[in-house]
């Protein structure tokens, strides 16, 4: 069989968020901040937070169920499950637990870590398996529970993040709906945004010292990351458009990682994309890291804004540093 030239379609989406919604005023009860500051600097009004009984696997599974149902397939039809997350329930990965919860016994499952770029990196990774003919039905989930890892005494970062999950089903298709993409990384800027391991030296044997420790809270140089996003995201979208052989006018929707409304506005402005074409739901969820793009996509599709065949440019950016963009047409 000639596997070359297999097209890709994104045929279903789903999302999930914890029930608990905490608005900016509630945060100002526990730290020196205000709704005025958070809303004017970021556009965020509230975020959903996973409570002690919630898990990353639960959120990811719920989002996945919605995507599988919309795609009109069964979990048993899945060949591959990719879980883009930086906050697994298990350091060895959480994708297999999602596979078990779904009953997707034929699917191979693994985690992919690329922070807030995770969904876009996952989309492109999944696409390679489909293009080569290796797999036909792929479930891609972006899910994060960053409330576990932010420093709740650091008002510069903790107010920005929320918890959630989003998912898509990607399928082999006669027509290729994934028009173009571009991925980038720059580890020299890792210090701008990280959640690093910190260990204490421990003598195991006379001649063998290991370290034992834990991960520290998320740290971010907000201004550096802001500048990076506003410069690099338009570039990478333009590159993806070039590869797709289309111009910016062909974009029906711009869907960026939901980090900050000012970043969304600045990127749209630089690309000359009118604000009506910019999908934004960060006011309700804050920055949900790998979940933010599929969560916003799911709301836009189910809300009737995004219609079959429309062209969407997505772009993720964040820790690594990593950034990337993909251009696709929604549906089969």
Enzyme catalytic residues:
116, 257, 287
Q: Please enumerate in sequence order all residues whose Cβ is within 8 A of that of 92, keeping only pairs 6 or more positions apart, or say none.
A: none
Judged by CB under 6 A, the residue of 92, 223, 272, 274 near ligand UT7 is 223
The reply to whether 216 sits near ligand UT7 by the rule CB under 6 A is: no
- Residue 206 or 223: the one with the smaller Cβ distance to ligand UT7 is 223
Site string for ligand UT7, 294-323 (x = CB under 6 A): ------------------------x-----
Residue nearest ligand UT7 (C-beta atom)? 222
Q: Which is nearer to ligand UT7, 68 or 116 (CB)?
A: 116
Interface with ligand UT7, residue 290, by CB under 6 A: no
Shortest gap between Cβ of 37 and ligand UT7 (angstroms)? 4
- SS3 string of the chain? CCCCCCEEEEEEEEEECCCCEEEHHHHCCCCCCCHHHHHHHHCCCEEECCCCCCCHHHHHHHHHHHHHHHHCCCHHHCCEEEEECCCCCCCCCCHHHHHHHHCCCCCEEEEECCHHHHHHHHHHHHHHHHHCCCCCEEEEEEEEEHHHCCCCCCHHHHCCECEEEEEEEEEEECCCCEEEEEEEECHHHHHHEECCEEEEEEEEECCEEEEEEEECCCEECHHHHHHHHHHHHHHHHHHHHHHHCCCHHHCCEEEECCCCHHHHHHHHHHHCCCHHHECCCHHHHCECHHHHHHHHHHHHHHCCCCCCCCEEEEEEEECCCEEEEEEEEEEC
Q: Which among 77-85, 121-129, 248-256, 258-266 is the span making contact with ligand UT7, rule CB under 6 A? A: 258-266
Instruction: Kindly identify the residues of this chain, within the stretch 83-122, that bind ligand UT7 according to CB under 6 A.
Output: 116
Q: Does 133 bind ligand UT7 (CB under 6 A)?
A: no
Asked whether 68 and 139 are in contact (CB, 8 A), the reply is yes
| x/- letters, 144..163, toward ligand UT7 (CB under 6 A) | -----------xx--xx---
Instruction: Kindly state the smallest distance separating residue 231's Cβ from ligand UT7, in Å.
Output: 12
Query: Shortest gap between Cβ of 86 and ligand UT7 (angstroms)?
Result: 10
Whichever of 114 and 126 has its CB closer to ligand UT7, that residue is 114
8 Å CB contact between 123 and 133: no
Residue number, 34 or 55, with CB nearest to ligand UT7: 34
Tell which one of 260, 311, 315, 329 touches ligand UT7 (CB under 6 A): 260
Task: Determine which residue in the list 21, 215, 226, 277 makes contact with ligand UT7, applying CB under 6 A.
Answer: 226
**Which residue in the block uniquely carries the two structure tokens 């509230």?**
46
The reply on whether position 222 binds ligand UT7 by CB under 6 A is: yes
Q: Which is nearer to ligand UT7, 6 or 313 (CB)?
A: 313
Nearer to ligand UT7, 54 or 222 (CB): 222
Query: Looking up tokens 């929604």, which residue turns up?
Result: 330
Give the list of residues 6+ apart from residue 274 with CB closer than 8 angstroms, or none.
268
Indicate the residue among 262 and 332 with the shorter CB distance to ligand UT7. 262
Site size toward ligand UT7 (CB under 6 A) is 20
Contacts with ligand UT7 by CB under 6 A lie at: 33, 37-38, 41-42, 116, 155-156, 159-160, 222-223, 225-226, 229, 259-260, 263, 287, 318
């Amino acid at each position: 069989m000639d596997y070359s030239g297999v097209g890709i379609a994104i045929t279903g989406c789903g999302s999930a968020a914890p029930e608990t919604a905490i608005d900016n005023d509630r945060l100002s009860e526990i730290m020196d901040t205000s709704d005025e500051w958070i809303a004017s600097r970021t556009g965020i009004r509230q975020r959903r937070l996973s409570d002690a009984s919630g898990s990353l696997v639960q959120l990811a599974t719920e989002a996945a169920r919605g995507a599988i149902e919309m795609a009109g397939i069964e979990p048993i039809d899945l060949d591959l499950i990719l879980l883009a997350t930086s906050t697994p329930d298990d350091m060895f990965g959480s994708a297999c637990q999602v596979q078990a919860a779904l009953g997707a016994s034929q699917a191979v499952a693994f985690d992919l870590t690329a922070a807030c770029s995770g969904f876009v990196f996952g989309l492109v990774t999944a696409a390679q398996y489909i293009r080569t003919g290796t797999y036909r039905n792929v479930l891609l989930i972006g899910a994060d529970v960053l409330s576990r890892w932010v420093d709740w005494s650091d008002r510069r970062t903790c107010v920005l993040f929320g918890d959630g999950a989003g998912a898509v089903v990607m399928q082999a298709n006669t027509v290729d709906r994934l028009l173009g993409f571009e991925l980038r990384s720059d580890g020299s800027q890792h210090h701008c945004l990280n959640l690093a391991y910190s260990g204490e030296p421990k003598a195991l044997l006379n001649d063998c010292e290991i370290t034992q420790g834990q991960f520290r809270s998320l740290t971010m140089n907000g201004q550096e990351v802001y500048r990076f996003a506003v410069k690099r995201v338009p570039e990478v979208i333009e590159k993806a458009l070039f590869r797709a052989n289309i111009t910016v006018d062909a974009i029906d929707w711009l869907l960026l990682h939901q980090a900050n409304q000012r970043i969304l506005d600045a990127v749209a402005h630089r690309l000359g994309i009118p604000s009506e074409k910019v999908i934004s739901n960060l006011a309700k969820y804050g920055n949900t890291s790998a979940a933010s793009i599929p969560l916003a996509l799911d709301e836009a599709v189910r809300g009737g804004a995004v219609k079959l065949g429309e062209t969407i440019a997505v772009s993720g950016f964040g820790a690594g540093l990593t950034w990337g963009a993909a251009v696709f047409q929604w549906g089969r």
